[in-house]
Structures are given as structure tokens and as C-alpha cells.
Amino acid sequence: MKLLLVDDESKLVAALSCLLCKNGFHVDSAANGDIGIEMACKGIYDIIILDRMLPNHDGILLLRELRNKGHETPVLFLTARVTASDRIEGLDAGADDYLTKPFTIEELLARLRALSRRKDKKLVGTTINAAGLVLDPQRGEVVKGAETFQLTAKESLLLELLMRNYSQVVTKEHILKKVWGLSSRTALANVDLYIHYLRKKLNILGIKTLRGIGYSLQEDINVSKPTCG
């Protein structure tokens, strides 16, 4: 499970990232709100852990911006703001849970498991639409015209990343980080290989190569149309 931790307390971030990794989570971190909003919009995360008091971008404003952009990723506020009005404000802004500092790692893990279960139920039937494709990330199925294709786990993650960043350039390094993980030793050449797999499997021309940079998903001119009898 991939988490985004947005907090400017470097010691807490380092300790928490280590503990979460030991418990099977993959953790990316952002030290301020501006970086946090950029990573949240471009990456694929199962849960976002968010501080309320951030440099450059207040946590409440960041969350509202995410929700206004249509992002439904579960968000857990992890903050020193402890009053009832603080909790109400955070939940009303779109947070799914609210945990105050100091906290125990056991309680945090329990809340993350609960959010994960809630997310899995919520995402049943949820699809992503872009470039003439309809992707069901949970099933790893993509519909193109009248055809349905089954993707491997890595192919599905890669296509989801491209579709969520439709018409934008996604660098190879960013793809490697989001699909294979920060600690992965997978060579960048594997990104090219999986792009080739997607193009061949979907018979798609809309994944454009920017040599030396990365890839961009554009409208596909090779979308199959349903045939009429």
C-alpha cells in the first residue's frame, strides 16, 4: 500500500516512514503543502496522511483543493490541533479521519487499516476515463471501444498513472518511483518495456514518447468502434 505523508517535522517524518515501511507500507513524503499538493495530484496513493500546519499551504486548504479537483483518496489528518472545533473543521473539509499528536503507532496502523477497508469498498465499480479508454484499476481491466483487455498488476498501475496525468508528460523516473517503488532496483529500461507491452496489448497509438524524458498519454486515433449489424 502506498502512502503520502505530508508533514514538515523532519524527525517525525523519518521515524514514521521507517515504522510504516516495517509494517509493509511504501511511503513518499512532502515537507510542505506546495510539494504535497503536486505529489497528491500526480501520484497514485492509497491513503494521504496530512498535517494541518504546513509551510506554504495550509492543510485544510490543501485538502479542499484536492477534493475540488475530484481526488477521492482517503485522507487522515495527523495533527497537534486537538480541539473539537479543529476536528469538525478538518472532517468538514473532506478528511476521512482525524488523529491528534501525540499518538501511538498501533492506533495509527489500526486507523490506516480501517481506511484501507473503506477505500476498497468505495472503489468497487470506480473507473478512470481518458484517451478513449476506460480503466477499472481494481479489476485490472480496460475497455477500448468494443474490446475489453486484462492487464497485469504493473500494466494497470502504469496505465492508471498515465491516465491520471492525461496529456501531461510523465518522466521515466516518476513512473519507476510510482509503479515499482522508491526502493526498487528495476532498471529504467523496464519502463520502456512495459510501455511497449501496453501499446501492443491495447493496439494503442496514443502513448507518445518524449525521448530522454518520458511519456504522455494523448487521445488515441486508433480507438476501436463498436460494429453495427
End-of-domain residue from the set 88, 122, 156: 122
Looking at the domain assignment, is residue 43 inside a domain? yes
Q: Kindly tell me if the per-residue pLDDT of 100 is higher than 80.
A: yes
Task: Tell whether 33 and 140 lie within a shared domain.
Answer: no
Over residues 13-42, the mean pLDDT reads 88
pLDDT tens digits for 105-143? 999 999 998 888 776 555 445 788 888 889 888 778 899
Q: Is residue 175 part of a domain?
A: yes
**The pLDDT of residue 127:** 80
Same domain, 67 and 27: yes
Residue 94 has pLDDT above 60, yes or no: yes
73 and 164 both lie in a single domain: no
Q: Which domain holds residue 80?
A: 2-122
Cα gap 105→147, rounded to integer Å: 46
Question: Which amino acid, 64?
Answer: R
- Alpha-carbon distance 49 to 27, whole Å? 10
Does residue 226 sit within a domain?
A: no
| CA distance linking residue 25 with residue 75, whole number of Å | 16
Same domain, 113 and 138: no
What's the rounded Cα separation, in Å, for the pair 95 and 85?
A: 14
pLDDT at 221 over 70: no
- Residue 189: burial class (beta carbons within 10 Å; 0-12, 13-18, 19+): exposed
| Inside any domain, residue 28 | yes
Residue 229 belongs to some domain of the structure: no
CA distance 148 to 69: 28
Q: Distance between alpha carbon 33 and the CA centroid of its chain, in Å?
A: 16
With a pLDDT cut of 70, the percent of the chain lying above it is 90
Q: How many angstroms from the chain centroid is the CA of residue 43?
A: 4
Q: How many domains does the chain have?
A: 2
pLDDT of 119? 61
- CA 143 – CA 70 distance, rounded (Å): 22
- Assessment of whether the complete model's pTM goes beyond 0.75: no
What residue type is assigned to position 41 of the chain?
C
Residues 47 and 134 grouped into a single domain: no
- For residue 223, being part of any structural domain is answered with no
Q: Residue 138 maps to which CATH number?
A: 1.10.10.10
Domain shared by 211 and 101, yes or no: no
**117 and 138 inside one domain:** no
Task: Please report whether residue 209 resides in a domain.
Answer: yes
Are 132 and 118 members of one domain? no
CB burial string 53-71: b at 16+ within 10 A, e below:
ebeebebbebbebbeeeeb
Statement to judge: residues 118 and 134 lie in one domain: no
* Average model confidence (pLDDT) across the chain: 84
Buried b (16+ CB within 10 A) or exposed e, 107-128: ebeebbeebeeebeeeeeeebe
Among residues 122, 153, 177, the one where a domain terminates is 122
pLDDT in tens, 170-215: 998 888 877 876 555 567 788 899 999 999 999 888 899 898 889 9
Among 87, 105, 122, the domain boundary falls at 122
Peptide bond between residue 226 and the one before it cis (omega within 30 degrees of 0): no
Calculate the alpha carbon distances from 103 to 66, 85, 203 in Å: 26, 19, 50
Percent of the chain with pLDDT over 90: 37
Which CATH number goes with the domain that contains 50?
3.40.50.2300
| pLDDT score at 224 | 46
Q: Is the pLDDT of residue 42 over 80?
A: no
